[in-house]
Structure 1
Amino acid sequence: MKNLVAISLISMVMTFSPTLVAQSNVVKVAVGDIYKGKLKDIGYGMTAEEVLNAIYKEARISHEITYMPDELAIQSVLDGQYDALDLRISELEYDHSQSLVKVNVAIGNIDIYIFSLGEHLDLSLQDLHDKDVVSVQGAVYVDKIKHYKSLHLVTSEEAALMLINGDADVWVAAMQSYDFVKEKYPTIHVSSSPVSREYLYHYLHITQSHLLKRLEASAEYVMKNKVIE
């Protein structure tokens, strides 16, 4: 009887272990809602999801993408609930070096603009010193404007509402953030030329550091050859 039980247990392990191993090898990628949709170009005629899929496919690493609010995407990877983080600028590596490692190949870029209720303004960063400025929480580029008169860090939706309600004079953000709300708030307009360009990198939770070299080699190949399906 004991032998039969032992054989049954071994059989169960042999039956289920491949599935368990396969699941454990899937890299869970957290992607902020800012990258949602086919129109979210990251600078090379590609969406974030397209380029990430191409890089993981080239590296022969199984992955799954989950969209969530932008701040939650960052925090879920910092906490180790997810294995990898979409595309963020390089300063994130220094702010969270104990939790994140950067795939050190630029695979996109974002241009930063100033937005306001004025249609024909041509503002620069120097024009903002005496204004109430709002920017997106979790956007590391706010370091460039943190010393201004008044800076509020909120979500894209809250930033738009603060402009509409007169609680802020200008909003500094990536065009992708503006695209996320512009149909809902048509009185908000682009009020500057690009005031900054930031290059985007993929990030891994530090527990996934063993994948770094494979993903860097894959990212270099994809960006050189634009292998996007």
Structure 2
Amino acid sequence: MSSDKGHLYLIPTRLGDNPPLEVLPISIKKIIEEIDYYIVENEKTARRFIKRISTSKSQPSLKLSVLNKYTTVAERNTFLNPCLEGFSMGLLSEAGCPAVADPGSDIVSLAHAMNIRVIPLVGPSSIILALMASGMNGQSFCFNGYLPIDKVDRKAKIKSLEKLSSEHNQAQIFIETPYRNMKMLEDLVKVLHPETRLCVACDLTLPSEFIKTSPAKEWKNNKEDLHKRPAIFIIQKD
């Protein structure tokens, strides 16, 4: 154990159940083999991921703190104590990059407040991958998270984002719970101007990956089943 503070590594994970080193750099495997303390969303899936990427890693040596909607502020504030004692830690997302559309941002903020060095590692982000493949404005874009569930509120939000995209030449990115993807697509086709470009990107990095950008009017004839497939939606009105 060092007398100095440990580092907080932000460790990306896979976007689906493909072999880890097909989409993650070897540097992540090396870091995982070096550290035993982790902050995770789900202990079972985190242990499975660590085992997949490093079969030699001792599972009993792992010390995992669970960060989810049930975690209290008091609990969260103790999670980085190992760093204060000189041990480096890893922050894992359930999918993709920690702290991006992910509760891990609270931990990163806490690390900065405690003068703990934060080290982001390279890995897949579904948001960035979708934007890269969309053909929309990668110089100016906004991620909006989930849109409202209420029909009236959702329609108003879609119109608002479409207006923003036109006024600022800005790609507007959002997500939906996978089992509501088809309803989202249906609402977008109904609400958007027929010529507004719409990109749907789902199952990114997986063999079943699907990415398509077309005017909203052309999505009326969509044949792709998006049900229960993790998806990113992007709109831009020129």
Give the structure with the larger strand fraction.
Answer: 1
TM-score bucket of the superposed structures, by smaller chain: 0.3 to 0.5
TM-score, normalised with respect to structure 2: 0.32
Give the greater-gyration-radius structure (CA).
1
TM-score by length of 1: 0.33
Structure with the bigger RCO (C-alpha within 8 Å, sep 6+) is 1
